């Protein structure tokens, strides 16, 4: 369903009325397309404290954005001259004096970032032994989350904690591209140790990083799952599309269009994991757990069947099939598991105690399994947590609730299925081995939750 309010605010009367009454002013987001794969404008590289990262300049040069040379940002610049992105290296911030340099670096330029631009702050993991360093590095989290809520005009802010520019490269490419349009206010961590264990490797064809790899997507017949399958196929993967047998016609149609394989299967079946493994004679490189259902009702009015059916599909089946595939050795070394959580699992939602419990369970699964799967199988485990995404499901939500869902985030609009798909594709990439145990919200920085 079209966002009529977003379209209206792009007109002269819409701009006048929203300013007059202090209403949200969403900006159309710049998303990836084959014709426009990069942001427009230069990259401004700043620093605070003494950098701990070697080779950062070389990594940033490979993002596709041209470094700024002699740029003097000002609010009077034409958009084409404004920085498309600002990267502030604050990995060496260890005390309050250095933290003040974060303000000094960004204060003069923050207004000049182009519409739909990016601000990425690089930080370090808070120390267990130096409480001064821990305090100021944790301070960067509050700083970035607040900055994301201030920027407006489709601009985003993210904190990336890392100990290695190389391990952070795939994440920087994602965050500094149109693919991250609906990701803001997030804290992401990459490590050199995870990259070494997770089979991080540069793709032979950057435009098709998943070429030669097999990806299985559950719940793939429609909605977010279909978009994930399309995006992974765009990136070169052979996609195996799994959904319930009653969706077989849609599943086959999409698989044929993508050159993939349809696998009609009830993921809650006791032998689902074994059947998935049997359908993958050459193993699996990317496993995307997307299948899910809702059966909303307040707990006082929720019968046991509504509770158990949601927990069975959204959590129990994920646990069983993941365990079965790992035990069977079906996931190749350097493989990726990406599960779908939800901001409901982080912030809760009225009428969704069952759904929120299941999605919070996904977060627990990721945090517990990620280090063990990496150590034992060379496989990374991460999760996307969508917010309000424009699908047929949300189109059926009553108007007032739907509009609240769209506006209650820093970008003042709903996301699209492709926003979840692009984040999934970043997790799935061969060179994302440094990203493990992360739960990234794709919610436009929802005002609900952390």
Going by C-alpha positions, the residue among 442, 396, 400 that lies closest to residue 5 is 400
Cα angle value 308/309/311 (rounded, 5°): 65
Exposure string of 315-340, with b = 16+ CB inside 10 Å and e = fewer, is: bbbbebbbebbbebebbbebbbbbbb
What is 64-86 written as a DSSP string? SPPBPSS----TTS-GGGS-SEE
CA distance 94 to 83: 28
For tokens 């794709």, what's the residue? Answer: 442
Beta strand residue intervals within 290-429, DSSP E = 331-340, 380-386
Helix ranges, 220-352 (H): 223-234, 248-258, 272-278, 304-311, 317-327, 344-347
Catalytic site includes residue 182:
no
Tokens of 412: 């003042």
Is 342:359 a contact under the CB 8 Å cutoff?
yes
Among residues 32, 355, 388, 426, the one annotated as catalytic is 355
Report residue 118: phi and psi, to 5°. Answer: -130, 140
User: 């990701």: which residue's tokens?
Assistant: 183
Report the Cα 110 to chain-centroid distance in Å. Answer: 23
Question: What ranges in 10-95 are assigned the alpha helix state H?
Answer: 12-21, 56-61
CA distance 442 to 450: 13
Termini Cα distance of the chain: 28
Sheet with 186-190, side-by-side order of all strands = 43-49, 85-92, 118-123, 156-162, 186-190
The answer to whether 181 and 33 have CB atoms below 8 angstroms apart is: no
Read off the tokens for 208. 């098709």
Q: Which residues are catalytic?
A: 355
């Amino acid at each position: 369903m079209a966002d009529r309010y977003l379209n209206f605010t792009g007109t002269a009367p819409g701009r006048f009325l929203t300013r007059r009454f202090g209403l949200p002013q969403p900006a159309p987001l710049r998303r990836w397309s084959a014709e426009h794969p990069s942001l427009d404008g230069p990259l401004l590289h700043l620093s605070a404290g003494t950098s701990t990262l070697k080779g950062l300049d070389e990594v940033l040069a490979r993002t596709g954005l041209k470094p700024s040379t002699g740029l003097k940002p000002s609010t009077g610049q034409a958009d084409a001259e404004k920085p498309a992105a600002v990267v502030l290296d604050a990995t060496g911030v260890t005390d309050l004096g250095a933290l003040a340099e974060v303000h000094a670096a960004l204060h003069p330029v923050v207004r000049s970032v182009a519409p739909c631009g990016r601000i990425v702050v690089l930080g370090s993991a808070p120390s267990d032994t130096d409480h001064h360093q821990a305090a100021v590095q944790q301070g960067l989290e509050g700083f970035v989350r607040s900055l994301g809520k201030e920027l407006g005009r489709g601009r985003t802010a993210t904190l990336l904690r890392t100990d290695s520019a190389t391990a952070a490269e795939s994440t920087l490419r994602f965050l500094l591209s149109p693919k991250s349009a609906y990701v803001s206010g997030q804290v992401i961590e990459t490590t050199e140790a995870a990259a070494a264990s997770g089979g991080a490797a540069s793709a032979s064809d950057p435009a098709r990083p998943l070429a030669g790899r097999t990806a299985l997507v559950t719940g793939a017949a429609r909605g977010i799952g279909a978009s994930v399958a399309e995006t992974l196929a765009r990136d070169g993967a052979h996609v195996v599309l799994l959904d319930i047998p009653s969706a077989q016609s849609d599943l086959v149609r999409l698989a044929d269009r993508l050159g993939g394989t349809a696998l009609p299967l009830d993921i809650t079946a006791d032998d689902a994991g074994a059947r998935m493994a049997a359908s993958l004679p050459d193993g699996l490189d990317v496993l995307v757990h997307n299948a899910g259902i809702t059966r909303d009702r307040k707990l006082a009015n929720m019968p046991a069947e509504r509770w158990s059916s949601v927990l069975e599909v959204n959590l129990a089946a994920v646990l069983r099939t993941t365990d079965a595939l790992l035990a069977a050795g079906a996931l190749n070394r350097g493989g990726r598991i990406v599960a779908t959580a939800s901001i409901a699992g982080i912030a809760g939602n009225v009428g969704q105690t069952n759904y929120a419990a299941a999605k919070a369970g996904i977060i627990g699964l990721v945090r517990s399994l990620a280090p063990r799967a990496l150590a034992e199988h060379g496989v990374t485990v991460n999760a996307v947590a969508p917010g309000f995404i424009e699908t047929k499901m949300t189109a059926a939500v009553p108007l007032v609730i739907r509009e609240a869902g769209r506006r209650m985030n820093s970008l003042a609009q709903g996301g699209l299925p492709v926003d979840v798909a692009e984040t999934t594709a970043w997790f799935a990439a061969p060179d994302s081995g440094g990203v493990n145990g992360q739960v990234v919200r794709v919610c436009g920085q929802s005002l609900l939750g952390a």
